[in-house]
Amino acid sequence: MHRRYTKIFLKPGREASLLRGHPWIFSGALASVEGKPEPGDIVVAVAHEGTPVALGFYNPVSDITFRLLTTDTTTSIDTLFWQKRIRTSTALREKVVPEGTTAYRLVNAEGDLMPGLVVDRYGDYLVLSIATAGMEQHRQEILNVLSEELKPLGIYERSEGRARQLEGLEARTGSTHGEHLSETLEITENRLHFKVDIITGQKTGFFLDQRPNRELVERFSYKADVLNCFSYTGAFSVYAARGGAKRVISVEASETANAIARCNLQRNNFSLEQHPVFRDDVFTYLRGTDELFDLIILDPPAFAKSKRDVVKAARGYKDINLHAAKSLREGGILATFSCSNHIDEFLFHKIVLGAVRDSRKSARLLYTMGPGPDHPTNLAHPEGRYLKGLLLSLSG
């Protein structure tokens, strides 16, 4: 017997986005709510004429009031439901993760129809992040399914950040299942070795979404002088070195990250004399350098964490891209990225184009870049594709 869920009633026509596949309904689309469901409760979204449309998480605290789980309104959201979803996401990764790779995204929130849940695999360990009130209610079920299906040695939780705050949730971090982790792990990616700090590192410890873009950088690195800006733990640098770069300079403000970057270069048998790692502010470095490079990588942190940051962020992106463009040799390659949700692809293209023009150069687009296939996104939900990048050939 299927459970009866509380109903929320939509204003006329507001069900159209759900029927097109978009996974969110905002508060302004609601006409009324049956009873007083709690944040995170599962509800049925009902069209104005009375037709049930979808099941999803309800949260009156958030601007995103409804997050889609399924359009099958007869389904029960129980352990079997989560088991099927996680098995489906696991099966996809078995198809898309390359050999010699032990770290990848296993669950990508809305992209895997599990809103607010991110699970990254690091070898025998999982790192879990919950960002929605609905997924918080099902946390223990999810942990149990992950443990039973995947049998990891340990699961570490990093449920923190602004998205969680907007859902009215407090941060939670720490080991939840299995072995307690106190040191960095070693993972492989395309048969390269990397140390990863999943406890205090950025995101869940490693920028897993950049794997295909690192592969591209490797292809363009042969005999090149390479500058890797915002180099973090040096993954792009290691790929460039394997690609045959003459020299790779890594610039990163965090000495903690730099120490791991040096370890990663040495672990893969690359010389720190040939491929040095410097602690510096990237803006200061780019403005001050008189060196020219064949390939420059710009992978900054998110400059726009909210809509009100967009104007300031756009100036920051333009500044670093302008100085990078000026620091490239004729025919040089610029790999430039933004991971800011509030800077969409069109705006990012416009910013980079403006920077290139101001450098008095022209750009040929070689590749439009984004996250790897282990980070799937809903085609009807472009907001989920936060990472965008351009691989450009610049000439003057």
Among residues 208, 339, 369, 391, the one annotated as catalytic is 339
What is the domain class of 79-182 according to CATH?
alpha beta
339 is catalytic: yes
Reported as a pLDDT band with limits 50, 70 and 90, residue 1 is very low
- pLDDT at position 56: 98
Report whether pLDDT(68) > 90.
yes
Query: Are 328 and 334 contacting, i.e. CB atoms less than 8 angstroms apart?
Result: yes
Query: Are 376 and 315 contacting, i.e. CB atoms less than 8 angstroms apart?
Result: no
Report whether pLDDT(13) > 80.
yes
Query: Are 138 and 169 contacting, i.e. CB atoms less than 8 angstroms apart?
Result: no
Counting Cβ atoms within 10 Å, is residue 315 exposed (0-12), middle (13-18) or buried (19+)? Answer: exposed
- pLDDT at position 309: 85
Each domain of the chain, given as residue ranges in start order, spans 6-70, 79-182, 207-395
User: Could you report the per-residue pLDDT of 191-238, keeping only the tens digit for each?
Assistant: 999 999 999 898 899 999 999 999 999 999 999 999 999 999 999 999
Query: Are 183 and 252 contacting, i.e. CB atoms less than 8 angstroms apart?
Result: no
Q: Do 79-182 and 207-395 fold alike per CATH?
A: no
User: Could you report the per-residue pLDDT of 231-277, keeping only the tens digit for each?
Assistant: 999 999 999 999 999 999 999 999 999 999 999 999 999 999 999 99
Report whether pLDDT(124) > 70.
yes
- Measured from the Cβ of residue 246, the count of other Cβ atoms closer than 10 Å reads 15
| 57/43 Cα distance (integer angstroms) | 6
Q: Which residues contact 80 (CB under 8 A, 6 or more apart)?
A: none
Q: At residue 50, what are phi and psi to the nearest 5 degrees? A: 105, 5
Report whether pLDDT(2) > 60.
no
Cα 369–Cα 108–Cα 186 angle in degrees, nearest 5: 80
- pLDDT at position 371: 97
User: Could you report the per-residue pLDDT of 72-91, keeping only the tens digit for each?
Assistant: 999 999 999 999 999 999 99
Q: 3-class secondary structure for the chain?
A: CCCCCEEEEECCCCCHHHHHCCCEEEHHHEEEECCCCCCCCEEEEECCCCCEEEEEEECCCCCEEEEEEECCCCCCCCHHHHHHHHHHHHHHHHHHCCCCCCEEEEEEHHHHCCCCEEEEEECCEEEEEECCHHHHHCHHHHHHHHHHHHCCCEEEEEECCHHHHHCCCCCEEEEEEECCCCCCEEEEECCEEEEECCCCCCCCCCCHHHHHHHHHHHHCCCCCEEEEECCCCCHHHHHHHHCCCCEEEEEECCHHHHHHHHHHHHHCCCCCCCCCEEECCHHHHHHHCCCCEEEEEECCCCCCCCHHHHHHHHHHHHHHHHHHHHCEEEEEEEEEEECCCCCCHHHHHHHHHHHHHHCCCEEEEEEEECCCCCCCCCCCCHHHCCCEEEEEEEEC
Q: Considering the chain, what is the average pLDDT of its residues?
A: 95
The CATH superfamily assigned to 6-70 is PUA domain (2.30.130.10)
CA torsion sign for 79, 84, 85, 91 is positive
Domain 207-395 has CATH 3.40.50.150: yes
